[in-house]
Amino acid sequence: MVVQKILAVLLLLIAIVPARAQSPEAPGLEVPEWEIPEPKGAEAEGAEPESDTPVKQKPFSRIGAGLGGSITGYRDEVESPINRYLNTVTYFLGGNVEKGIFFYSFNINFLMGAPRMAAPYTGYNHTEYLAAKGDIENAFDFRLWGNKTFPGYLGGSLRAAVYLAGVDFTDNGSENPSPPTGGLVLSLDLHASQKWIINEKHTLIFSLGYPLVGYAIRPAYVFFDEYWMEYLYEDRVKLITLGEFVSFHNYWAVFGDLKYHYTFNSLISPYAGLGFEVSRINFPRPRIDAVFRLNAGISFTF
């Protein structure tokens, strides 16, 4: 009888202990750590739910090159009081760097061709006469208004514009190239930019500049200016002395640029743009320029 009682107690203990071990609430019994399942995803204490949308990193810098065309009209009375028109291929290089509230951008463009004259000179065709023009703009702006998708920037820019015109001034094998007329304008401009981030793929950037003060080098009359001719062939550094400070009293201009960027991937962004320029400089004789540009190219983001 005693043996039977002992066996009954052992069987009872064998049945009770495993059942209680399976319940974490059972007092006096601990569940081994390897048997406790790890919490996953949002069930983990203090963990944030995962999002399927990847976080888009803001581009730090962008540089691109493009090709386009310019519709140009100008009248430079230093050379002759004749309206000239030039529609030609234009080369572009530009980019920007954006960090915090700081927005830096630069634009370079260059064109050259044989302009045609207005009436009554429309029948006059001189293909050896060339005109060239180049512009460099470096703008430094700071964010002053707007939100994350429509930020606005205001600052200043340094602009340099150079232009040349004449017969055989490129000296392409000519024994007696004619001295070119030309000029150089350096200016400090008021500059503003407006950016519109439509979505992750599409972005518009519009900028506007207006010169405040600068320095311009222009001959009084190119073919009969004694100092221009002397310095051009003997000491070109002295051409700087033929300049004059320019501001509101003798130089007016407006420069505009609109660019559309399409983000193809994290590295490449094709773009298209248009720009315009209207300017007048009044010394020693007036020069008036009106330019409209269209261009397209590829930019790379870093």
| Residue 48 lies inside a defined structural domain of this protein | no
| Residue 43 lies inside a defined structural domain of this protein | no
Token digits of residue 268: 């490449």
Domain co-membership, 232 together with 114: yes
With contact defined as beta carbons under 8 Å apart, do 261 and 196 qualify? no
Residue 103 — left, alpha, or beta (φ > 0 → left; ψ -120 to 50 → alpha)? beta
Name the burial class of residue 114, with classes exposed (0-12), middle (13-18) and buried (19+) by CB atoms within 10 angstroms of its CB.
middle
Identify the pLDDT of residue 172: 53
Domain co-membership, 94 together with 207: yes
| Residue 239 lies inside a defined structural domain of this protein | yes
| Residue 185 lies inside a defined structural domain of this protein | yes
- Cα 301 to chain centroid distance, Å, stands at 11
Please state the φ and ψ torsions of residue 263, each to the nearest 5 degrees: -80, 100
Distance CA 163, CA 175 (A): 23
Domain co-membership, 33 together with 68: no
Distance CA 249, CA 227 (A): 25
Identify the pLDDT of residue 180: 67
Domain co-membership, 87 together with 154: yes
In terms of residue numbers, what domain contains 20? 2-38
Domain co-membership, 202 together with 157: yes
With contact defined as beta carbons under 8 Å apart, do 112 and 166 qualify? no
| Residue 83 lies inside a defined structural domain of this protein | yes
Nearest Cα neighbor of 256 from 272, 280, 273 is 273
| Residue 77 lies inside a defined structural domain of this protein | yes
Identify the pLDDT of residue 228: 72
Token digits of residue 132: 């060239």
With contact defined as beta carbons under 8 Å apart, do 159 and 184 qualify? no
pLDDT in tens, the chain (302 residues): 554 555 555 555 555 545 454 444 444 444 444 444 555 544 444 544 444 444 444 546 889 999 999 999 999 888 778 888 999 999 999 999 998 899 999 999 999 988 888 766 655 556 567 889 999 999 999 999 999 999 999 999 999 999 888 776 555 555 555 566 778 999 999 999 999 999 999 999 999 999 999 999 887 765 556 777 777 777 778 778 878 899 999 999 999 999 999 999 889 999 999 999 999 999 888 999 999 999 999 999 88
- Cα 92 to chain centroid distance, Å, stands at 11
Q: Regarding beta strands 268-281 and 116-117, do their DSSP bridges make them parallel or antiparallel, or are they unpaired?
A: unpaired
Domain co-membership, 93 together with 180: yes
| Residue 44 lies inside a defined structural domain of this protein | no
Q: The pTM is what?
A: 0.73
- Furthest C-alpha separation in the chain: 141
Domain co-membership, 163 together with 293: yes
Q: Say which CATH number the domain at 210 has.
A: 2.40.128.90
Nearest Cα neighbor of 131 from 117, 110, 114, 108 is 114
Domain co-membership, 32 together with 105: no
Distance CA 246, CA 283 (A): 9
The single residue listed with the structure tokens 């298209």 is 272
Question: Apex CA 61: angle with CA 60 and CA 63, to 5°?
Answer: 160
Please state the φ and ψ torsions of residue 236, each to the nearest 5 degrees: -70, -20
Identify the pLDDT of residue 178: 59
Domain co-membership, 95 together with 197: yes
Domain co-membership, 32 together with 69: no
Domain co-membership, 10 together with 137: no
> Count of domains in the chain?
2
| Residue 49 lies inside a defined structural domain of this protein | no
Domain co-membership, 239 together with 118: yes
Facing residues of 73 across strands?
85, 290
